[in-house]
Amino acid sequence: GAVVSQHPSWVICKSGTSVKIECRSLDFQATTMFWYRQFPKQSLMLMATSNEGSKATYEQGVEKDKFLINHASLTLSTLTVTSAHPEDSSFYICSVKAGVKREQYFGPGTRLTVT
């Protein structure tokens, strides 16, 4: 399967600042990546679909101006949380769609804490 990395693994930032999270597909060229968030003891919630070379598609209720997604290459997608607030504190996980197999492989996640 695809190997996916995320950076950083955890980050603490102050309210009002912006934070960038990177998702890399290490052994697979990914035209499509997905960004999820997960609150404690809950399932994964899809935030957006990141498409290489085009605009991301956001799920209903997710503010595209707050969660900026850039997928500039086949191996890298970034999620920037702008003007972060404590309620944005969560576990953010990306995944890669492994071509025609329709499987998704997840990164290790990034724990964001906004103080």
Partner 1 sequence: GQQLNQSPQSMFIQEGEDVSMNCTSSSIFNTWLWYKQDPGEGPVLLIALYKAGELTSNGRLTAQFGITRKDSFLNISASIPSDVGIYFCAGLPLNDYKLSFGAGTTVTVRA
Q: Which residues bind partner 1 (CB under 8 A)?
A: 1, 4, 6, 32, 34, 42-44, 46, 49, 91, 93, 95, 97, 101-109, 111
Structure tokens at 86: 């404590």
CB of 29 to partner 1, least distance (A): 16
Nearer residue to partner 1 within complex by CB, 38 or 82: 38
CB of 92 to partner 1, least distance (A): 10
Nearer residue to partner 1 within complex by CB, 16 or 108: 108
Nearer residue to partner 1 within complex by CB, 82 or 111: 111
DSSP code at position 6? E
Neighbours of 1 (CB within 10 A): 11
SS3 for 99? helix
DSSP code at position 27? S
Query: 74: closest CA among 55, 95, 51, 94?
Result: 51
CB of 59 to partner 1, least distance (A): 8
Q: How far apart are CA 33 and CA 85, in angstroms?
A: 25
CB of 83 to partner 1, least distance (A): 26
Query: 76: closest CA among 52, 92, 58?
Result: 52
Nearer residue to partner 1 within complex by CB, 16 or 99: 99
